[in-house]
Structure 1
Amino acid sequence: MIRTLVQLSDPHIKLPGTQAYGRVDTARFLREAVQAVGRLKQAPQAVVLTGDLTDFGRPDEYQHLRELLQPIECPIYLLPGNHDEREALRGAFPGHAWLRNGTPFVQYAVDLGGLRLVTVDTVVPGASHGEVCAVRLEQLAQLLAQDTVTPTLIAMHHPPFRTMIGHMDEIGLRDPDGALAAVVARHPQVRRVICGHLHRLIQAPWANTIAMTAPSTAHQVCLDLAEDAPSAFTMEPPGFLVHAWSEEGDVVSHAVPIGRFEGPFPFHADDGQLID
């Protein structure tokens, strides 16, 4: 049996009736993303949101987020990004016990049935870049050591690799000594490191596994690899990722554009003949 985990990222939810940057109705886009998840052929085991859940980390923004996510019927797992505020997030989702682990950081592990999801909190309060301090590294090491057999996805907001989009790399994850990479590399059960922050689908080999970022459910970071490229976004089609796994432990990641599209259409006619 194939099971799936949906990854939504960077919805940047604002107060009702307001738009990001004066032009992006992020709530409408997230509403459409939730509808798209509901149309998937296989209902997901869970949904994870990889940070920048709101635009300013305000309690009323999180309440708006909670309302927008309400139609999702499966378990939802959240982690903060640099636009978020941990305590406001916890306050808006009081029933989510995994948000509270006795430390300031949102780090936890959940068993999805043949796949394990482990989160890493990369937030630096008041800053756009990310980092993982010694306390968080030790927590991650402990979580990974609890089960070294089950295929595992690590979810975090800031990607651990250089994307070559200069202005985003400047506010990326800072791990100058490679401490995070060293912890992850010791655990071959880690099949993916799934991230947000970049508002694009990007992937790279990292720490003996694959690290990747998800598109935003709303606006995308402009793909400009020039060294002096300005910080800018585009209204390219939004999307999300579906991470699928089998009973044999295989993990495959799929990109899904958000919207309504024609089809599906058969490749063959009713008589079995190939349609030219």
Structure 2
Amino acid sequence: MLIAQITDIHIGFDPDNPDEHNMQRFKAVLKRIASGPNSPDLLLMTGDLTEFGDAASYARLASAVADCPFPVLPMAGNHDVRGPLLAAFPSTPSHDGFVQYALDFEGLRLLVLDTLEPGRHGGAFCETRAAWLAAELNAHPATPTLIALHHPPFESGIAWLDSDACEPWIGRLAGALAGHDQVRAIISGHLHRTIYTAFRGMPLMVCASTAPLVALDLNPIDPERPDARDMIQDEPPVYALHRWDGTRLVSHVESVGEHRILARYDAAMQDVVRLIVSERSGD
């Protein structure tokens, strides 16, 4: 099972520009996923699909993914608006008005969570959403499960984007996940950088964005004193591939742009490949 993840696309940031930078970055990543050597079983877009949550931006996004040779599933982030999102992607399941749903594959479940609260930049996870998650986990205790949500429930050190670890929504999420050993990993977005950590003993990965990335500055920030630090930078767009091998989830990250190929699998590399394969097989 191979799941591609794209996050923080922010279509419509430059709404009057037909060559919008964010759309060009997004299309470059889509092209790489569709034409590259790793064909995913599905593409999961993990929130902040648009900048302003307007219908026109969702329509442009839906048009961009319409010809993808794999299913494309949306999620909600803090920049999204549920109504226009669901209108543009009408086959998306929802629960109690939230863009929250379960997908069942052979030997794996994917639980997509909705951490949007209108008017709030940070995450949210109310009692209704937490109860749904707990019920889904209780109903399938023996099936390995992957959790996907937009807002990462930890403090990364990127102070101006972080949630506080003591926020009530994080406690509700932790409570719903508690005792469920079938959760093998959590994937998220929002921070515009690739980050690896653990949450309550569960592996957690944040995928970097297709929109411009956040500068890596882990110093405290004073909301009353602008210090001219770098905040957003035009690094290459990023996507992730999450490979489920039946036992564990292995996540790979690739940036998309010009790369100089230094070696190909030809006669010059054959002996290296033979050696490594023979060592792995115990020959």
| Structure 1 match to 2:276 | none
Q: Conserved in 2, the CA contact under 8 Å of 1:159 and 1:172?
A: no
**2:150 aligns to what SS in structure 1?**
coil
> What's the TM-score once normalised by structure 2's chain length?
0.86
Q: Any gaps of 5 or more consecutive residues in structure 2?
A: 222-226, 274-283
Structure 2 Cα separation of the partners of residues 78 and 27 of structure 1: 16
Structure 2 Cα separation of the partners of residues 85 and 162 of structure 1: 25
| Structure 1 match to 2:35 | 39
| Structure 1 match to 2:154 | 161
| Structure 1 match to 2:53 | 57
Deviation sequence 1:63-112 (CA, Å, 0-9, x none): 00101112312111111100000011111112x141x33x1211110013
Matching residue within 58, 64, 81 for 1:85: 81
Matching residue within 116, 127, 146 for 1:123: 116
Total equivalences in the alignment: 266
Q: Conserved in 2, the CA contact under 8 Å of 1:130 and 1:172?
A: no
- Is 1:265 the counterpart of 2:283? The answer is no
Deviation at 1:163, TM superposition (A): 0.4
Q: How does 1:7-18 map to 2 (within 5 A)?
A: 7-14=5-12, 17-18=16-17
Task: Point out the structure with the larger helix share.
Answer: 2
Structure 2 Cα separation of the partners of residues 210 and 108 of structure 1: 21
Q: Conserved in 2, the CA contact under 8 Å of 1:5 and 1:44?
A: yes
Q: Any gaps of 5 or more consecutive residues in structure 1?
A: none
Structure 2 Cα separation of the partners of residues 45 and 271 of structure 1: 30
Matching residue within 193, 218, 230 for 2:211: 218
> Which AA in structure 2 matches 1:215?
A
Task: Report the CA distance shift for 1:271/1:66 in structure 2 as closer, same or farther (over 3 A).
Answer: closer
Task: Report the CA distance shift for 1:18/1:145 in structure 2 as closer, same or farther (over 3 A).
Answer: farther
Task: Report the CA distance shift for 1:219/1:172 in structure 2 as closer, same or farther (over 3 A).
Answer: farther
Q: Conserved in 2, the CA contact under 8 Å of 1:245 and 1:251?
A: yes
Task: Report the CA distance shift for 1:159/1:165 in structure 2 as closer, same or farther (over 3 A).
Answer: same
Give me the identity figure in percent. 34
| Structure 1 match to 2:242 | 243
- Is 1:48 the counterpart of 2:44? The answer is yes
Q: Conserved in 2, the CA contact under 8 Å of 1:188 and 1:208?
A: no
Structure 1 Cα separation of the partners of residues 236 and 165 of structure 2: 23
